[in-house]
A and B are shown apart, each in its own frame.
Chain A
Amino acid sequence: MGQSTKRPVWSLAGDSQPLRLLAITLLIFVGFSLVLGDKFFSIRNLQSMAVQFPEFGILAFAIMITMLTGGIDLSIVGTANLSAIAAALLLTRLSGEGGAGVALELSIPLAMVAALAVASACGLLNGLLVARAGITPILATLGTSSLYTGLSYVITGGPAITTTQLAFIGNGAVAGVPIPVIVFVVLAVVFAVLLNRTAFGFNVYMLGTNLRAALFSGIDDVKVLMRAYWLAGVIAGIAGIIFLARVNSAKPEYGSSFILLTVLIAILGGIRYTGGFGTVAGLVLSVLTIQFLSTGLNMLMLELSGSSAAIFFRQFAWGGLLLAVMVVNDYVERRRQRAI
């Protein structure tokens, strides 16, 4: 017992996943650096990777919180795009060419509030469907995903809404660190505190482990689930603002590959898809690993084939990796079970 008192209560006994993942992350990084030389291991490439990963990295937190409850939110990309469209619309109408001429100091915060309000509404609708109506999360959010994306098409009529007024966020940096990275880091810290140091976080883990036992322990499942899906929506909204800031336009079908990617990140990061287990450290390492892999594989394919077919290979690689990680996790888990 003497030793255990030093360890925080939150450390999940026997859960070596973050450490194992740290080793894998470093291995991949060092591996690509050796193979590709300074093409990969250079300030320029590091910077270019740093502006890429926050987009899907932030979305991964939305997947994480819902997965920890034992569910999933497939509507996060739809939510992000709808929020981005809301912000872009407001910005162009208020301060764009031929707009109302409102000062950017006012219209930008307003646009962000609008994006987060839309995202909140999306998240709450998911929460209602899952927690109140009791619909299986994967089906409920598959439905709302289509709903939100469809709404985006209705609003925009198809084409993207272009606005460069948030570019200072997308391309900006503070002390050399890109703003999207700062947003990602802040979210990671907030999440770590939320999950490890609040009753809500604790209840998410418990409810995700065993819903029935949670009910019998007096955990208010509706409240916890509503909050989790609402939070996922808000995070997707933040991701939507980052989308808009990075590409200077909002469109209904942006980032459609991010769903599979964020699920892959969560699984690779040790978030158990049946709920109840997973750490922020694991998720962050997983985001980095995926970015290294993405960039490294691209460069490697380009070098080997000289063509841009690499982009198609990546899709294949993500699918394969997701399946491989699940098989390995399952195997490791079963061996662990047998050891106990």
Chain B
Amino acid sequence: MAKPIVRLAGIHKSFAGVRALQDVSVTLEEGTVHCLVGENGCGKSTLIKIIAGVYPRDSGTVEIGGTLYERLHPIDSIREGIQVIYQDFSLFPNLTVSENIALNEQLAAGRKFVNWAHVRRVAQDAISQLEVHLPLDARVDEMSVANKQLIAIAKALRQNARLIIMDEPTSALTEREIRTLFTVIGKLQRRGIAFLFVSHKLNEVLEISQSILVMRNGQVVSAGQVSEYDTARLIYEMTGQRIAENAYEFTPDPGQPALLRVRGLAVPGVLQDVSFALQAHEIVGVTGLLGSGRTELALALFGMLPMTAGDIEIDGKPAQIRSVQDAIAHGIGYVPEDRLTEGLFLEQSIGRNVVVRTIETLRGRLGLTDPLQVQRQIRDWVTSLRIKTADPDLPVKTLSGGNQQRVVVAKWLASRPHLMILNGPTVGVDIGSKNELHELIKRLARAGMGLLVISDDIPELLQTCNRILLMRNGTIVEEILPRQTNENALAAKLIED
């Protein structure tokens, strides 16, 4: 049995009377990758913050590195070698890689002058421990998400990390980058470093971890060795119910002109000669690595990236898309990749986010906005998309990821588009909501909408799309039918050059 680093017993935690954690007992051992899974709001982040010393517990015991802590402060937790890598990585974008890795300790040592040679040496040392290559003098904001993550890990190592907690570490990574990350984790693990992984991607959870913790409603409902679990059991433990998804069936109607036809579309440097068609009732997946042009294709169709060549036809008629307003006028809606910065007005109310597309039309006397119509539309969408909130006047940031995504979808549905482009529709969304979003996508397609689903979530593509377009180097290289492939074959195609 490996030595425990963190041992929590009987932890209770409430916020303003709402129970966040109830009798949680967890042991995290060195050299082990632990995965923490559970739906949004199940208490995962509260648990992490208790381990990190950010939140005090209400009751229960916390033992770290053999010491019992009456009151655990963040600094105690850091001294004990616990490093939390949040999704934003907490790096300084305007500093270089080596500065990010090594400056912390120079500051902590109270030095007035920076020893640059030392900074470089320290950073190089940390990076070589990961056995990856990173340019030391490049600015961090020029690095990819995957590299930023490696920098954050290197930084954690410099602070003598014994337990690295990572929140959704793979959600913004491509298949290949995930492989690199997993290799790095494997190496560090063999040196005795423990990991606590929080992830929604269950197949990755099963692949990387040795020990699994499942949380539901503030309790650990299941824990054990990874060998005891498969995807179905994980979903069952997380949701308390069995969920099965059926693939989407589509029968083409030859009499209909294509809803969208793209011929030879090009955007210098990112897209070249992209041609495809999309019928009404169709759900077409678009996949590819980051940089394959999948997001750029969406942006070009949505009028955000000016195209230099190519024809677009909508409902059989030529269409010019030069601006977002043009795209909207042609009935195109776009659920962007980054929900938090592109999809939502986080600080504004749920209601305002829902009606932002339609506010012009909700007018009454004197041409002024009619609050009653606005209220009605908000109520209708909150109800029909089952957005879980006590009050639509609350800021949209109070919602969970899945509910936030429903707000973005509601915003577009309210303006009745014929064609919806969804970019990473279920990134950072819990299993239950993910399933409901997939059902919603299928329902919309059955009702006559055409949908373009951009995703690198392979099970998602196979379950929701009737066709999948594979992109590489800015163009579509292959069309794949879900029933003629499987997860492994598609994953292999995704990363092959």
Q: Which residues of A contact B (CB under 8 A)?
A: 1, 3-5, 7-14, 193, 196-199, 202-203, 205-206, 209-210, 212-220, 276-277, 339-340
Chief secondary structure at chain A's binding surface: loop
Question: Which of chain B's residues 385-421 have a Cβ closer than 8 Å to chain A?
Answer: 390-395, 397-398, 411
The answer to whether A216 and B343 touch across the interface, beta carbons within 8 angstroms, is yes
What would be 16 A-B contacts, judged by CB atoms less than 8 Å apart? A3-B391, A5-B375, A9-B374, A11-B393, A12-B393, A13-B395, A196-B369, A205-B348, A209-B346, A212-B342, A213-B343, A216-B334, A276-B347, A277-B347, A340-B395, A340-B398
For B324, list chain A residues within 8 Å (CB): 215-216, 218
* Chain B residue nearest in CB terms to A10: B371
The answer to whether B349 and A210 touch across the interface, beta carbons within 8 angstroms, is no
The answer to whether A9 and B349 touch across the interface, beta carbons within 8 angstroms, is yes
The answer to whether A213 and B352 touch across the interface, beta carbons within 8 angstroms, is no
Q: Count chain B residues whose beta carbon lies closer than 8 angstroms to a beta carbon of A.
A: 39
> Taking the complex as formed, is B280 at the interface, i.e. its CB lies under 8 A from any CB of chain A?
no
Q: Compute how far the CA of A271 lies from the CA of B356 in the bound complex, rounded to whole angstroms.
A: 21
The answer to whether A217 and B411 touch across the interface, beta carbons within 8 angstroms, is yes
For B356, list chain A residues within 8 Å (CB): 202, 206, 217, 219
The answer to whether B348 and A276 touch across the interface, beta carbons within 8 angstroms, is yes
> Taking the complex as formed, is B368 at the interface, i.e. its CB lies under 8 A from any CB of chain A?
yes
Q: Compute how far the CA of A217 lies from the CA of B369 in the bound complex, rounded to whole angstroms.
A: 19
* Chain A residue nearest in CB terms to B382: A1
> Taking the complex as formed, is B102 at the interface, i.e. its CB lies under 8 A from any CB of chain A?
no
The answer to whether B348 and A199 touch across the interface, beta carbons within 8 angstroms, is no
Q: Compute how far the CA of A218 lies from the CA of B411 in the bound complex, rounded to whole angstroms.
A: 11
The answer to whether B391 and A13 touch across the interface, beta carbons within 8 angstroms, is yes
The answer to whether A7 and B393 touch across the interface, beta carbons within 8 angstroms, is yes
For B378, list chain A residues within 8 Å (CB): 9
Q: Compute how far the CA of A180 lies from the CA of B204 in the bound complex, rounded to whole angstroms.
A: 69
For B351, list chain A residues within 8 Å (CB): 9
Q: Compute how far the CA of A280 lies from the CA of B345 in the bound complex, rounded to whole angstroms.
A: 21
The 5 closest A-B pairs by CB, nearest first: A197-B368, A13-B393, A209-B345, A199-B360, A216-B342
The answer to whether B369 and A199 touch across the interface, beta carbons within 8 angstroms, is yes
> Taking the complex as formed, is B328 at the interface, i.e. its CB lies under 8 A from any CB of chain A?
yes
For A210, list chain B residues within 8 Å (CB): 341, 344-347
For A5, list chain B residues within 8 Å (CB): 375, 379
B357 is contacted by which of A12, A197, A217 (Cβ under 8 Å)?
A217
For A11, list chain B residues within 8 Å (CB): 393
Q: Compute how far the CA of A220 lies from the CA of B359 in the bound complex, rounded to whole angstroms.
A: 14
* Chain B residue nearest in CB terms to A193: B368
Q: Compute how far the CA of A213 lies from the CA of B393 in the bound complex, rounded to whole angstroms.
A: 19
> Taking the complex as formed, is B325 at the interface, i.e. its CB lies under 8 A from any CB of chain A?
yes
> Taking the complex as formed, is B336 at the interface, i.e. its CB lies under 8 A from any CB of chain A?
yes
* Chain A residue nearest in CB terms to B358: A199
On whether A209 and B348 interact (CB within 8 A), knowing A197-B368, A216-B336, A340-B395, the answer reads yes
Q: Compute how far the CA of A3 lies from the CA of B411 in the bound complex, rounded to whole angstroms.
A: 23
Q: Compute how far the CA of A10 lies from the CA of B370 in the bound complex, rounded to whole angstroms.
A: 11
* Chain B residue nearest in CB terms to A277: B347
For B360, list chain A residues within 8 Å (CB): 199
* Chain B residue nearest in CB terms to A207: B345
* Chain A residue nearest in CB terms to B383: A1
On whether A9 and B371 interact (CB within 8 A), knowing A1-B379, A202-B359, A220-B325, the answer reads yes
Closest chain A CB from B47 CB (angstroms): 18
* Chain B residue nearest in CB terms to A5: B375
For B328, list chain A residues within 8 Å (CB): 218
For B122, list chain A residues within 8 Å (CB): none
Question: Which of chain B's residues 54-84 have a Cβ closer than 8 Å to chain A?
Answer: none
